Structure 1
Amino acid sequence: MILKKRKPLFITSLSTLTLSILTATSAHAQVSAVLPTLVIEGMDENDPTRTYIDYQQASVTRNNLNKKDIPQTIDTIDVQKYKLYGANDLSVMLQGTPGVSTSYDMRGDGIMLRGFSADSSDIYRDGNRESGQVRRSTANVERIEILKGPASVLYGRSGGGGVINMVTKYANFNTASSFGAYAGSYDNKGVVVDINEVISDHWAVRLTGEHGKTESFRQGIESEINMLSPSFTYNNQNGLTWTAQYTYDKLHRIPDRGPAFQNLPEGTSIKTGFAQDGDFVDDKLQVIRSNLRYDLSDTWQIHWAASYREAYQNFDHFYLGTYCATEFTPVRTGGACAGHVGEISQVYYWQETSNSTLANTLELQGEFMTGALRHQLTVGFDYSIEEREPKLANENRDGSPIFGYVNPLTGERTSTRGSGDLQIRTHNYAKGTSSGLFMQDLISLRPDLDLMLGLRYDHYKSQAQNRLLSSDDINYQRSISDQTLSPNLGVVWRPALDHALYASYSRSFAPFGGRVSVNTVSANQNLELFDAEPQYNDQYETGVKSDWLNERLSTQLSLFDIRKHNIRYRPDPDADPYLWAVQGEQQSRGLELSFIGRVTDNVYLRGGYGYNKATVKEDKASPGNNGKSLAGVARHTGNLFVRYLPNDNTYGEIGVTHVGDTWTNLSNTTKLDGFNRVDAAVGYNMDQWRMTLAVSNLLDKEYWRSNAMPGTPRSLLFRVNYTFD
């Protein structure tokens, strides 16, 4: 495998500039101490300063190093800053994060990292892949970590834009307990509990839970969440720590998914809902995990994490649809609009999908010397089995499609839902097995200069079975496997104690022609025609991480260039169906700046800005796409929040979230207009009581999260929490 690749021009120029700075600087400062694992460790979750203090480490890096020692961009988001405004879904919380584009999808999360999709393979919970079709609730999540850019050296298969890791709340010896309640607009109300008790010097237990219900600004739309997560932690005070946790998270909802707004007649209100009577979606997540760490010595540690995860989604509803401008407007499944002019013709679907993941990771971390060089080494082994079994129906037994109709101007609904005698058209089973061995070494060449080297070997296998036709016939089973290597390389130079400059190269792979999900091969596919070659994403990144104002303010600035290549196609499938060739290349370039901290004794701020130009560099199959922007990627993203604390008891906050214009298709013919959303909050503390009143979309801005989903109008949320030891 040839890994050599020419550096992009702007990275080469910046590297030359960086080298000039390095040469011109003669003072070298030695970092003599490692900062604590978390600056905010043990801080009350509802402390008004917590969401404005950065984490010094991120578990997404898998090496226990300070984030400044990692030659890639890492963002860490405390979820409490979004809970304040009532957000719970992952995609909502990531809105405005530099380099991250989000959209609405009824079935899951619509998230793009640095121009490439992260939905199928790049979202993790406590280091274990969150694969499958399910809405990802953050009800038991403490923080969100984002490692930007290709990360296959740590996690295997990937879409190439980065990795998102949700870190959950678990029993510990520092966190206080609390009860809370909230109420707000659209009949939004709920209760939360977080009891963390230290039983002895060796044992701590924790129980977190949430029950909440809410309606919507959209007619007929509502949801209900129930989450419960007990855990315990054992610490023998002699180097061994073990945490065990179970999480149950269920979300029942009446789905909100309509036709593209461009197709709706003038005068349609954004408050119009399109759900029919009887529509529902149930998402259920269950996770059992074990996390064991043991200090072998003062400098060596072993870590074993195991988890079993089940995600289940069941929906029965009408969705999408086409506006019937005339009687003969074509409908998606071939129906007609006769008799329904001026209405939305909806397509009916029933689906039941189960996903399970069994994951094991084993890591050895430590320090050693080779001559004058200090090594901080991480060696790891990953093994996982992922299974997915979808069942799908969208027709009656006689083969006739099922339609519903909604008048968008009056809200009147007509359902042709049958008696339930459905024709199941799909029942597949898919299984993905993967194992990976990786090594990453941070080598201190000098007190102010580090070199990062990493390499990973992956072996992966995909199996499929058509259970609708046969459960054991070999003619309806398929299996394919492959392997690959993933490298990374980086350098970190600290010209001064508070500043770290870095440059890096990293690669990720998407197996089987870019198919990163579990169901990569179908049960009736001709494997002789199957393209088993992986796609690759190569990134060059350079930047600087700094502390200012006596370490009260932290900043990150980075430039990156990602190339997706080895994209495959058939030049002439009729003449030679077995011939695959390279279709072309996609490119994502950009700049990201983030900052968090305290600028004066009473003023805190956090935010950032991202510029992301993601385009088709070359497309031999469809040359008309050359130069077009990739769909779903906002060119500009950013946010800025300012919090003022005049005293220990009160605070006020105001912030703006910016999302730029976004093309919704690769042909660049339809576009979502960008928006600026202003949010504000006030808080008051009295002894152990904490109260907040938050206003989302303060200026009542009308905007669209996707081409079929408007953003929520102005809404209020009041929260109260009681904290106790």
Structure 2
Amino acid sequence: MVLCKKSLFSILVYASAMLSAESYADNAQTIVKDEYINRAVLLPAIVIEAMDDGDPIKTYVDYKQANVTRNGLDRRDIPQSIDTIDVSKYKMYGANDLSIMLQGTPGVSTSYDAEGDGISIRGFNADVGDIYRDGIRDSGKIRRSTANVERIEILKGPASVLYGRNAGGGVINMVSKVANFNSRSSIGTYIGSYDNYGATLDINQILNGQVAVRLTSEYNDTNSFRRGIGQDQTMLSPSITFQNDDETLLWTTQYTYDSLDRVTDRGPYFYNLPEDVPIDLSFAQAGDYTKDELQLIRSDLNYQFLPNWNVHWAVSYRQANQDYDNFFGGSYCETDTTKRNCKAGYVLQNYKWQKAANETFTNTFDISGQFDTGIIRHQLLMGVDVNHEIRDIKFGSFSDTSTSGPKGYINPYDYSDRFVVGSRINTVTSHNYHEGNGLGFFVQDLLTLVPQVKLMLGLRYDTYEFKSTDKLIQIRLKNNDESLSPNVGIVWQPIEDHSLYASYNKSFAPYGGRGYIQVNSSESTESEYNQQYEIGMKSDWFNQQLSTQLALYRIEKNNIRYQPDATNQPDIWAIAGEHESKGVELSFIGQLLDNVFVRGGYGYTDAKVTKDTQTPTNMGNRLGLSSKNTGNLFLRYLPTENLYGEVGVTYVGSFYNNVRNERKVDGFNRIDAAIGYKNDQWGATLAINNITDEKYWRFASMPGTSRNYLFRVNYFF
């Protein structure tokens, strides 16, 4: 399949016209930069954000603060593990999906999910309700693009004090590119394997000392190493930022449109196929599609009303739709079977379609500041979060064993030999309407008892109302829940460059909090809750040139709700009992030698079932889709100030396909490499993914991409 490239050229023409029509003054923007080789690694976040994408050391410099903490504190004062990923690092290799960028992150497991992201943190699912965009929950099943994302922040462990309902493994915050008074503008294009074409536009313009505007846009059109698979993506995001004369007020308004049209690749599990089936053959039928569309408008206001005291008010409206119609999965027919309509030598496929709409309105307000009580310094954060979410899902599903509905047949050895029996139908097999309303009040205080010892105390009160209607049979369910979520941590900094900590955190996940559970009047409505105990150390070495982070943790998850048979009974949920996750994580980033930089980490995650009254045979089993070992290591060498080379390995350990531990997916090591050049105006990179062409599986139904390349060039002004 070859996808249309017209929009790509339209963007290039549009960008060229803008460049020709407008001249930018040389002194309009100031880029804070030192010599590459001699820069210290631990720099203020504003300096890193001012670096151009493609700056030789941008992705090897750590961020001092992380927005995901909501309090503006130095990361070393936070008694929890925090990882930050600069998106430009992975854009160089052509990655765009959130799950791809998180591969190899310590403690984070990713898998292929045609509908969503397939992400778990410390063993617990995060891709439904624990992903945020600029501090606002990014709810629902949808493939998340990073086309307009500056960096990704991961706060490990329960985070209910800051964010309310939470699955307990952690939260992911995507920080958007917005109008500012530091960043330069750029225009770029790229070309790569499998007819991969794209163009980017990033215009950041300072109109005067008070107003800056920005327009970011990206178009991508690509096919896949799997024949017949491709996608077409368009992103457009304008923003405007205002600051007053004394810079005590900063107000940003942003709109984002992100659309992804794709042919869905949803093959059967590899262990249901003969071993010699080629992995480059897809299982899509003519007419299969999935469309993800996100529209988001938000306002973010920060105001310093007193010295050391700030008000933050953010309002967001988000609309995310996902529609699809496709054949998927299925089983291999070794012999003809009349009952199952099997045809010997073919894969007999399932069929389903969906129209899902998710609307979320969020209003969050907080105040932060400093004050003293005697010799104790307080850094206080308190606020309120209000959110309203609606999810409307129409769904039609027909299995390969059903007596009605269309059937798909594919010869797994011959791409051209595929056909459908029966026409696609719009029969609704389920129609569920969910509505959730959340209200939370929180307070968190970092107390400096003595200069070397700090105490973190936090408490949050949440109420959550969930209403759901099965519109086919008109069953209605309503549930109200409330919860107190505490956290406490102590930080000891015996010397400036080392910070040791210990903490306890609790989170809760109310019934319906995931937003897609079907009405089932017999289901327990008790809230899940997690408790985590963590100790760790955050350090800077060699005159702050190298930063490290070490954490050991144990999480106990209670009142588990899970799907006993997600494949055959996806709408049935039950209380299983208790899960436990314990492990260790190490991450590092910075400068090893004068011209050698390093980043990477390793995570060991032992996540298993400790109690299961529903299925006792699951006790002791590992949690599904969670790798016990994850890690990555990247080295970058700068022979000159402008030229650099990089090589890295991403390691993902084996994992089981489900909690029953019936099948194991082997782990893999993938080696990637790149070379690049960057001066004040031009940047170019050539990246090769999977240079050893290793054969591996991201998930039981999706092999990893074979060796491929991407060439990217950017002009900065």
> What TM-score do you get using the length of structure 1 for normalisation?
0.89
Structure 2 counterpart of 1:516? 513
Say whether the 8 Å CA contact 2:469–2:475 is kept in structure 1: yes
Deviation at 1:420, TM superposition (A): 4.8
Letter aligned with residue 461 of structure 1: E
- Report if the CA contact (8 A) 1:394-1:422 is conserved: no
| CA-CA distance at 1:316 after TM superposition | 1.1
Q: What pairs up with 1:451-600 in 2 under 5 angstroms?
A: 451-468=455-472, 476-512=475-511, 515-520=512-517, 522=519, 525-526=520-521, 529-567=522-560, 583-600=576-593
Letter in 2 for 1:718: F
Preserved contact between residue 38 and residue 56 of structure 1 (Cα < 8 Å): no
- Structure-2 separation of matches of 1:173 and 1:179: 18
Q: Pairwise mapping of residues 293-312 of structure 1 onto structure 2 (< 5 A)?
A: 293-312=302-321
2:189 counterpart of 1:189:
no
* Matching residue of 1:362: 365
What residue number does 2:412 align with? 408
Give the secondary-structure state (helix, strand or coil) at the position aligned to 2:145.
coil
1:722 aligned onto 2:707: no
Q: Sequence identity, in percent?
A: 55
Root-mean-square deviation (CA), in Å?
1.9
Gap regions ≥5 residues in structure 1: 1-33, 330-334, 470-474, 570-579
* C-alpha distance in 2 between matches for 1:89 and 1:553: 29
Report deviation, 1:530: 4.1
Counterpart among 677, 680, 690 of residue 684 in structure 1: 677
CA gap of 1:326–1:337, structure 2 versus 1, over 3 A, is farther
Distance 1:690 1:594 in 2: 28
User: What is the CA–CA distance in structure 1 between the aligned matches of 2:137 and 2:374, rounded to whole Å?
Assistant: 39
Deviation at 1:620, TM superposition (A): 3.0
Aligned twin of 1:31: none
- Is the 8 Å Cα contact of residues 52 and 606 (structure 1) preserved in structure 2? yes
Supply the AA of the counterpart residue of 2:496.
L
Structure 2 partner of 1:7: none
How far the C-alpha of 1:328 sits from its partner, in A, is: 3.0
Look up the equivalent residue of 2:365 and give its one-letter code. L
Structure 2 residue 412 is the aligned partner of structure 1 residue 390: no
Q: How much does 1:287 deviate?
A: 0.3
Say yes or no: does 1:697 pair with 2:690.
yes
| Offset, 1:259 | 0.3
**What letter is aligned with 2:73?**
L
Letter paired with 2:88 = Q
Give the AA of the match of 2:492.
Answer: W
Deviation (angstroms), 1:362? 0.1
Given the alignment of the two structures, is residue 373 of structure 1 paired with residue 372 of structure 2, yes or no?
no
Q: In the TM superposition, what whole-angstrom CA distance separates every residue of 1:455-507 from its partner, at most 9, and x where no partner exists?
A: 000000011123345xxxxx533221110100000000001110000000001
| Contact 2:432/2:518 (<8 A) preserved | no
**Aligned equivalents of 2:560 and 2:681: distance in 1?**
57
Please state whether the residue corresponding to 1:296 is helix, strand or coil.
strand
* One of 264, 282, 287 as aligned partner of 1:278: 287
In the alignment, residue 535 of structure 2 is paired with which amino acid? T
Q: Secondary structure at the match of 1:624?
A: helix
Structure 2 counterpart of 1:464, which letter? S
Shift of 1:413: 4.0
Offset of 1:581 from its aligned partner?
A: 11
How far apart in 1 are the matches of 2:307 and 2:162? 25
Q: Structure 2 CA distance, aligned partners of 1:227 and 1:132?
A: 19
**1:108 maps onto 2:116 in alignment:** yes
Residue 42 (structure 1) shift: 1.3
**Aligned positions of 1:278-357 closer than 5 A:** 278-328=287-337, 336-338=340-342, 340-357=343-360
Deviation of 1:533 after TM superposition, in Å, equals 1.4
Which residue is 1:98 aligned to? 106
Check whether the contact 1:394–1:402 (CA below 8 A) recurs between aligned residues. Answer: no
Q: CA deviation at 1:622?
A: 2.4
SS at match of 2:111: strand
Q: Distance in 2 between matches of 1:518 and 1:583?
A: 20
TM-score, normalization by structure 2? 0.90
SS in structure 1 of the partner of residue 68 of structure 2: helix
Q: Which amino acid aligns with 1:435?
A: L
Deviations for 1:660-715, whole angstroms, at most 9, x for unmatched residues? 11111222221011110000000123441101000000100000000000000000
Aligned-residue offset at 1:37: 4.2
Correspondence 1:438 to 2:425: no
For the 8 Å contact 1:427–1:467, the answer to whether it is kept is yes
Counterpart-to-counterpart distance in 1, 2:523 and 2:632: 44
Q: Give the Å deviation of 1:511.
A: 1.1
Whole-Å Cα distance in 1 between the matches of residues 637 and 203 of structure 2?
Answer: 30
Are residues 1:231 and 2:231 paired?
no
CA shift, 1:105, in A, is 0.6
* Pair 685,256 (structure 1): closer, same or farther in 2 beyond 3 Å: same
Structure 1 position 620 matched with structure 2 position 613: yes
Which one-letter code corresponds to 1:509 in the other structure?
A: F
Give the secondary-structure state (helix, strand or coil) at the position aligned to 1:646. coil
CA distance in 2, matches of 1:399, 1:262: 25
Q: Given residue 637 of structure 1, which amino acid in structure 2 is its aligned partner?
A: T
After superposition, the C-alpha distances for 1:155-213 in whole angstroms (9 at most, x for unaligned) are: 11111100000001000000000000000100101100000000000000000000110
**Following the alignment from structure 1 to structure 2, what is the Cα–Cα distance between the partners of residues 108 and 413?**
29
Report if the CA contact (8 A) 1:456-1:486 is conserved. Answer: yes
| Matched position secondary structure for 2:162 | helix
Instruction: For 1:660 and 1:177, locate their aligned partners in 2 and report how far apart those are by CA, in whole Å.
Output: 40
The answer on whether the counterparts of 2:56 and 2:642 sit within 8 Å (CA) in structure 1 is: no
8 Å Cα contact 2:218-2:234 kept in structure 1: yes
Shift in Å, 1:417? 6.1
- The structure-2 alpha-carbon separation of the partners of 1:395 and 1:490, relative to structure 1 and needing over 3 Å to count, comes to closer
Number of the residue aligned with 2:250? 241
1:497-542 per-position Cα deviation (integer Å, ceiling 9, x unaligned) = 1000000000111112xx53113462xx43xx44221111100000
Secondary structure of residue in 1 paired with 2:513: coil
For the pair 1:450 / 2:454, whether they are aligned, the reply is yes
SS at 1:68 equivalent: helix
In structure 2, what is the Cα distance between the partners aligned to 1:686 and 1:65? 34
Residue by residue over 1:442-464, the C-alpha shift from the partner in whole angstroms, topping out at 9 and shown as x without a partner, is 00000110000000000000111
- Partners of 1:520 and 1:300 lie apart in 2 by 42
Which residue type is aligned with residue 453 of structure 2? L
Deviations 1:523-577 (A, max 9, x none): xx43xx44221111100000100000100110000100001123479xxxxxxxx
Cα offsets for 1:285-316 (capped at 9, x unmatched): 00000000110111110000010000011111
TM-aligned CA deviation for residue 390 of structure 1: 0.8
Distance in structure 1 (CA, Å) of the matches to 2:636 and 2:465: 50
Listed as ranges, the gaps of 5+ residues in structure 2 are: 1-41, 563-572
Q: Summarize the Cα distance change of 1:568–1:143 in structure 2 as closer, same or farther, 3 Å threshold.
A: closer
- Cα distance in 2, alignment partners of residues 369 and 317 from structure 1: 62
Residue deviations 1:38-79 (CA, integer Å, cap 9, x gap): 441311122111000010001100100010000000000001
Kindly indicate whether residue 79 of structure 2 is the aligned counterpart of residue 71 of structure 1.
Answer: yes
- SS class of match (2:49): coil
Relative to 1, partners in 2 of residues 1:417 and 1:441: Cα closer, same or farther, differing over 3 Å?
Answer: farther
Specify which of 266, 269, 273 is matched with residue 278 of structure 2: 269
Aligned to 2:269: 260
Paired amino acid for 2:665: L
SS in 2 for 1:423: coil
Distance 1:685 1:582, change over 3 A: closer
For 2:288 and 2:547, the matched residues in 1 are separated by 47
Q: Which residue of 2 aligns with 1:637?
A: 630
Aligned pair 1:176/2:176, yes or no?
Answer: no
For residues 452 and 159 of structure 1, what CA distance do their matches in structure 2 show? 22
For residues 550 and 381 of structure 2, what CA distance do their matches in structure 1 show?
Answer: 26
Query: C-alpha distance in 1, partners of 2:105/2:423?
Result: 46
